[in-house]
Structure 1
Amino acid sequence: MKAYARVLVRPGGFGRLWLGTTVSLLGDGMTFLALAWLVLDEGGAGRLGLLGVCFTAPVVVGGPAVGLLLDRVDKRTLLIADSVFRAVCVASVPLTAAFGSMPTALPFVVAVVYGLLKMVPLAGFPAAIPQLVDDENLDTANALESLAFSVSTVVGPALAGVLVGAVGAANVLLVDAASYLVLAALAATVRQPLSPPERGGKPARAKPSLRTVAGDRVIVATTAAFMLFNIAEGMLLLVVGPWLARHQLGGGASTLGALTAALAAGEMAGAALAGRGRPGRATPRLIGLCQAAAGPAFLAVLGAPSTLVVGAGYFAVGALSAPMTVWAQSLRMRRIPPALHGRAFTALRTLMQGTPPLGAVLAAPLLARGEPAAAAVIMAGVAGLPGLWLMLAVPEPTSPATQETQDANEIQEAQETRGAKQPQGA
C-alpha cells in the first residue's frame, strides 16, 4: 500500500483531485435513482423510460464537445466550472420542490444536463493524470482511478436507496449537489497547471489529430477487445444476473445486490494488485492474458442455483477485468500524444461504454427461450477470445522513448533536407 500512499500525498495535487473525483462519482451514483423516484411519484413506466433516454443519449453529443474542450482549456478550470454548474442544476430540483413549484419537466432537464456533461469528469480526470504523476506511477494512479469508479458504482446507488427512504428523493439530490461542490473545492486547491501542452519553441511538425489514434494498431486492438468484453459484461450485468437472481438463485433484489458487490470487490482487488506492479508492464500481451482468463469466469453462471458459485464467477470477472482497465489506460496515456488526451479519452470511453446495451439485446432472447447455457457460452467466447487475439496477433508496442527518438530523427532529417535545398547565401 506504500505505492498508493506515495502517489496520493505527492506534490502536485493528484491526491486531492482523486478524492474530489471519488466523492463526485459517489454523488453521480445517486443521481439516477433519486430522479427516477421523483419521476415515478409523478407518473408511470413510460416517464421512467424517457428519463433513461435523457440520462444516457446526450453523451453522444456532449462527449465530442467535452473532448475538444479538454484539449483547449485548463482541465482544472473545466472541472471546477462543470462541478459548480451541475451542482446548481441538481440543487434546483429540491429547492423548487421545497416551495411546491417544481416544474414537471425539471428532472428531465437535469438528466439531459448530466448526459451532456458526463464525460467532463470521466475523461477529464484521466486526461489530467499524466500531468500530475510521472510515468513510473501511471499504473498506480490509474488503479486508484479504477478503484474510485468501482466503489462509486456500488456504494452510490446503495446509499441513495437508503437515503431516499430516510429523507426523500429530492433531498438526496442536495447530497448529490454537495458532492459536486466538494470536487470543485478540491480541484481549486491543485496548483499544478493542467493546461494543454505548449507547442511554442518546438520544431515544426504535423499537428496531431485523432487519425493518429485511429492508425495506432495497439490502441485500436485493445479498444476493440474491450468493446467485445463489455458486450459480455452487458449480458451478465443487465440481463443474465437479474434473471438468475429472480428465477434460479432466490432472494431477488438482495441476491442481485450481493452479486454486484462481489463484482465490485473483485474489481477493487484486481485494481489494487495492478497498481503495485513494476512500471511499464502494460502490454497488449498481458492485457490479453487477463481478458482470456476472464472469459471462462462467465461460465460460473452455469453453477446456479448455487449463489456461492455464481458469486465467485462475478468476483473473478471483476478481479481480472480491473487490471485490464488499469494497464490499458496506462498504455493509452503513453502512446497517445498529450495534445489529444482529452478528445481521445472521451472518444474511447464513449465507444467502450456504448457496447453493454448490445449485450442486453443479445442475452434477452436467449433467456426468453430458456437457454441460459447458450448465453453463458456466448459470454465466455465474446469476452475471452479477443484476449487470445491480443496475446497472439497484436505486436508489442514500441517504447515511448524509442518512439520519441525516431520522431526527433525524422524532424532533424527533414530540417537538414530543407537546408540542403536552400541556395548559397540565402
Structure 2
Amino acid sequence: MSATHAARGSDAPATTSPPPSPRLPLGRPFAAQLTSTGLANLGDGLLGTLVPLLALGLTSSPAQISLLSAATWLPWLLFGLAAGVLIDRIDRRQAQITALVIRAGLLAGGAVLGGLGLLSMQLLVALTLAYGITEVVADLGATSIVPDLVPRDRLSTANGRIVAVQQVANGFLGAPLAGALVVVGAGVGLGSAAALAALAALVLLVGLRGSYRHAPAREDSPARPARPTRRSPLARPLAEVREGLSFLVHHPVVRPMVITSSVLNFASTGYFAVFILWVVGATSHVGLTEAQFPLLMLGFAAGAVGGSFLAPTVRNRFGELPTIVASLTLNSLLLLALIPVADGVLLAAVLALVGVLNSIGNVVSMALRQRIVPGELLGRVGGASRTLAYGLMPLGAIAGGLVAERWGLVATFVGAGVISFAACVYLALTVRPSMIDDAERSLGTGRPADG
C-alpha cells in the first residue's frame, strides 16, 4: 500500500493560530518507485493495446475478444488472497523486482513466437494470463509500499502522482506506440514490453534501497506464545488470510467500498471488453481505423492525468466521501452518454471527462484505504479486496462478450451503465463521513489535509 501529522480538532485556543506545517517532500525513494511504475506501465499500455489489435487479425468474435480481458484479471480471483499474505511476509520491494523480472522473461518468449509468426488466439490468451499473474504480485507490492515511502499527509498527492504517471505511460505513450508497432510486427512490440519490464526492475534494484518487510509476528514470539500442539505448515498462512478477510468483512467503511468497486469493475470491464468492436472497423458505429483507436484513448488518458492532479484539491474542497460518491456516480452516467456518440473527436472529449472522474474517485479512495487499514495488514486486506474487486473483472468481460454476442453491443453498454449507477447508490446509502472519522480514531490517527 509515515510520517505523523497534526490531526484536525478544536482543542487549540481560539485566540491562537499556529503557523501551517510545511509540506514534507515525497522524497527520492518515492521517486524511484514512481519511475519504476512509469516504466512498467509504459509496457502495460503497449501490451494492453497491442494484444487486442493483434487479436483483431485473428478473430472478430466478441466472445473471443473478451477472453483477453478475462485472462488479464482472472489471476486476481485465483491468487489475490495468497499474494496478499506473501506481500505481508516478504520485502515489498523485492516482490516487485521478482515479478517484473519474470514478466520480462515471459514477454521475451512471446516476442520470439511473434517474430516467428506462431501467435494464435490461444497463445495470446495464455500469455495475457501469465502476465496477469506477475501483475498481482507487482501491483500489491507497489500499492502496499507507498505508506512506507511518503508522509501520511501526502498520501493523496503521492497516489495522484502515481495515477498521473500510469495514465501518461499507458495512454499517452504506450497506446500510440502500440498503434505504430502493430504495423512493424508482434515480435518487436512484445520485445519492447519485455525490455520495459526489465528496466523497471533495474530501477527498483538500484534506486530503492532498504528493507520494506511487514512480516507478522512469529508463532514463537512474545506477541504469539508458542502452542504445545503441532500445527500444519499451512495453519499460519491460512490464519493470516482469515485475519485480512475478517478485517475487510467487518470494517464498516472498507467493506462497502470494496463491494462498490467490485461491482463497478465488473460492469466497466464488460463495457470496455467489447468497446473496440464499437469504434474500430469500417462497419463499426464510429468507424475508426486500428491506428486511430489508440489516439481515441488519448482522451481518456488526458482526463485521467488531469483528474489525478485535481483529486487532492477537489477532496479538500468538497470532502472525502462526497468526492468519491459524486465522481463515481457521474462516471457511471457517462458510460450511457458514450453510446450514441459517433464522432471520434466528441467521443474522445467524453472519454476525457470519464478519465477525470474515474481518476479523482480512485485517487481519493486509495488514499482513504491506506489511512484506515493498519500497515501490517495492507498486503492481506489489499489482496482480499482485489480478489473480489479484480476477480469479478474476468466475469464481467465474459458477461459483456456473451451479452453482446446474443443481444448486441448496445445491450452490454446499457447494462453496464445501469449496474454501475446502482453500485454508486449503494455506497451513498451505506457509508457516512462520521464512520470514516471513527475508523481513523480507532487507529489513533486523524484526517490530514493534502494539497
Contact 1:17 1:190 in 2 (8 A): yes
Partner of 1:264: 301
Partner of 1:338: 375
SS at match of 1:227: helix
Q: What is the 5 A alignment of 1:60-139?
A: 60-94=77-111, 110-139=127-156
Contact 1:71 1:342 in 2 (8 A): yes
Paired letter, 2:165? A
Partner of 2:197: 180
Kindly, what percent of the aligned residue pairs are identical? 23
C-alpha distance in 2 between matches for 1:67 and 1:233: 24
Q: Give aligned pairs, total.
A: 396
Offset from partner CA, 1:224-263 (integer Å, 9 cap, x none)? 2222323442344233563255543333545644442222
Partner of 1:328: 365
C-alpha distance in 2 between matches for 1:304 and 1:272: 28
Partner of 1:229: 264
Paired letter, 1:18? L
Q: 2:442 aligns with which of 375, 400, 403?
A: 403
Q: What is the 5 A alignment of 1:8-407?
A: 10-31=26-47, 52=68, 56-94=73-111, 110-154=127-171, 155-166=173-184, 168-188=185-205, 189-196=207-214, 208-239=243-274, 242-243=277-278, 246-253=283-290, 256-276=293-313, 283-356=320-393, 357-358=395-396, 361-362=399-400, 365=403, 369=407, 372=410, 378-396=415-433, 397-398=436-437, 402-405=441-444
Runs (5+) with no aligned partner, structure 1: 1-5, 407-426
Offset from partner CA, 1:76-98 (integer Å, 9 cap, x none)? 11212222233233334546888
Offset from partner CA, 1:28-74 (integer Å, 9 cap, x none)? 33346667788999x8789x879847655444333333222110011
C-alpha distance in 1 between matches for 2:270 and 2:397: 4
SS at match of 2:437: coil
Tell me whether 125-134 or 300-309 shows the greater mean CA deviation.
300-309
**Quick one: structure 1 residues 78 and 280, their matched pair in 2 at CA, closer, same or farther if it must change by over 3 Å?**
farther
Q: CA deviation at 1:388?
A: 3.5
Paired letter, 1:403? S
**Quick one: structure 1 residues 311 and 249, their matched pair in 2 at CA, closer, same or farther if it must change by over 3 Å?**
same
Paired letter, 1:339? E
Under a length normalisation based on structure 2, what TM-score does the superposition of the two structures give? 0.73
Contact 2:65 2:273 in 1 (8 A): no
C-alpha distance in 2 between matches for 1:365 and 1:35: 22
Contact 1:67 1:343 in 2 (8 A): yes
Under a length normalisation based on structure 1, what TM-score does the superposition of the two structures give? 0.76
Offset from partner CA, 1:351-408 (integer Å, 9 cap, x none)? 2234445266358647965694x666544432234334433431221256521349xx
Partner of 1:419: none
Paired letter, 1:216? H
SS at match of 1:71: helix
SS at match of 1:398: helix
Q: CA deviation at 1:322?
A: 1.0
C-alpha distance in 2 between matches for 1:14 and 1:287: 25
Tell me whether 237-246 or 284-293 shows the greater mean CA deviation.
237-246
Question: What is the CA RMSD across the aligned residues, in angstroms?
Answer: 4.1
Relative contact order higher in (CA < 8 Å, ≥ 6 apart): 2
**Quick one: structure 1 residues 258 and 174, their matched pair in 2 at CA, closer, same or farther if it must change by over 3 Å?**
closer
Q: Which has the higher helix share?
A: 1
C-alpha distance in 1 between matches for 2:441 and 2:147: 19
Contact 1:300 1:310 in 2 (8 A): no
Paired letter, 2:142? F
Over alpha carbons, which structure has the higher Rg? 1
Paired letter, 1:361? A
Contact 1:367 1:375 in 2 (8 A): no
Paired letter, 1:304? V
Contact 2:74 2:391 in 1 (8 A): no
**Quick one: structure 1 residues 40 and 362, their matched pair in 2 at CA, closer, same or farther if it must change by over 3 Å?**
closer
